[in-house]
Amino acid sequence: MVFSGIPFLFFFLPISLVLYYIVPFKAKNHVLLIASLIFYAWGEPVYILLMIFSTFVSYMGGVLYLKDPKRKKLYTLLSVAVNLFLLGFFKYANLFISTISSVTGADITALNLLLPIGISFYTFQTISYNIDVYRGNVPPERNFLTLMTYVCMFPQLIAGPIVRYETVMEEMKCRKITFDGFSDGMIIFLHGLFKKVLLANTIGELFNDITSSAPSEHGLLTLWLGIIAFYFHIYFDFSGYSDMAVGMGKMLGFNFLKNFNYPMTATSVSDFWRRWHMSLTTWFRDYVYIPLGGSRCPPYKHIRNILVVWALTGFWHGASWNFLVWGLYFGILLILEKYVFGNFLKRIPAFFSHIYTTVIVTLGWAIFSLEDFGIMSEYIKRMFVNDRIIDGEFMFYSIPYLPLLFVSLFFAVPIYPKLKSAVASWKKPVQYSAGAIGVITYGVLFVLSVALIVGNAYNPFLYFRF
């Protein structure tokens, strides 16, 4: 079944919230657990059992640690190994089988497994729980339903952010649910909704139109326009969902950490990855990079650590070899910034380092978005070497889409927070007027979002397949 996220969410969320608020606190986790299972079953009913089994394995790892602390390392390794096996089998089995078949010529039948929605996210959550228990950062959870609620909590289940148990451990048992928290969460949720529906969905159609035909059919600027459109698409798609997850979490009394911090303002690749999908970046830092030795080791080992982390980061994103190349691409760039030209980037004006970062990251999205290596290489080559710089097709797309690109750029940089901060310093009557305009604007954008959801069949979530 194809997950139909937002339309279902409009009917599901209000009912779940009403039930959640009216039941006593002791029953809130149960309501949240049932609602989360229904939410997941709407998209993947069969794979609920897989998610429950994965959580049970992690739960037993903690329980066995309580009974026999001397073997905590063994129990941790077993729990992590089982969950990694499940992730590897369901996500990468078809890729490895098809690769072996094409290399060896053997006729191996593919398993044709459907990828369980959100498996990359909830697997990393269960693994982080077991490792944190082993390290003593969190105590083993004795109540299986509490741990299950944490893993399958519907706001962040499908596409993150990757929430660690230590972040919500106290809130799982005691949390404040207030009107201010609800209103703040609603605003954050609406921001994410607008980013996803009004920006990501609309601009994503431009990338699809351009890549629906061979790169040789497009001029140089048209190809750049297509990848820039994908950059905006994936940013507003993923950050929009993350905002909705953070907002819904706040409405439920949870404080999830922010997952994006205006990555398009980055002035280096290192800076970009401190701002993009921060929950994944810090996950690999804390559970892979630092255990390997981090940067406190000889340069050759440091380089190895970076390459290992970014190979895994790339491969985490999807069962296709282009994601591995994409990860190594950024790993090599991070090494170059560390050992070759990083100091130079810090000395030059921020404008030029920002241009460098934007071009490098945009090229990376070409590797990320085009799984066929032949098409990918042709596309990238013609972004630089093309007998047509500008053509009629570029003008055709520019007329309807350039205004949208400028609007997207406005919301991709921190202009809105600065305006909001400026309004707070104005006189009270002006603030009230600005507040009234804001309420009307939110209302119009919400109605427009609902209209687009109902009338537009193009409503994907890119990160659902990761």
Closest to 123 (Cα-Cα) out of 171, 80, 59: 80
The dihedral region occupied by 23, where left means phi > 0, alpha psi between -120 and 50, and beta the remainder, is beta
DSSP per-residue string spanning 223-240: HHHHHHHHHHHHHHHHHH
Give the integer Cα–Cα distance in Å for 366 and 205: 16
| Contact status, residue 86 vs residue 50, Cβ threshold 8 Å | yes
Is 168:254 a contact under the CB 8 Å cutoff? yes
Contact call for residues 196 and 236 (beta carbons, < 8 A): yes
Tokens 């941790």 belong to which residue?
Answer: 76
- Write the single-letter amino acid at 216: S
The token pair that represents 312 in the structure block = 């895994």
DSSP E strand stretches across 221-366: none
Amino acid at 280: L
Rounded distance, CA 465 to CA 451, Å? 26
- Given the residues 191, 302, 317, 354, select the one marked as catalytic: 317
Q: d(Cα 244, Cα 449) in Å, to the nearest integer?
A: 14
Largest CA distance in the chain: 76
**Strand boundaries in 243-324, DSSP class E:** none
What is the Cα–Cα distance from 369 to 298, expressed in whole angstroms?
A: 35
**Angle of helix 220-252 relative to helix 179-194, nearest 10 degrees?**
160
Distance CA 423, CA 435 (A): 9
Show the beta-strand stretches assigned E in 266-415: none
- Rounded Cα–Cα distance for residues 247 and 249 (Å): 5
How far apart CA 82 and CA 102 sit, in angstroms, is 29
Are 186 and 251 a contacting pair, CB within 8 Å?
yes
- Spacing of C-alpha 65 from chain mean position: 32
Q: Answer yes or no: 317 catalytic.
A: yes
What is the distance between the alpha carbons of residues 381 and 386, in angstroms, rounded to a whole number? 8
Give the whole-angstrom CA distance, residue 33 versus residue 252. 12
Position 415, amino acid: I
Q: Contact, 354 vs 265, CB < 8 A?
A: yes
- Positions annotated as catalytic residues are 317
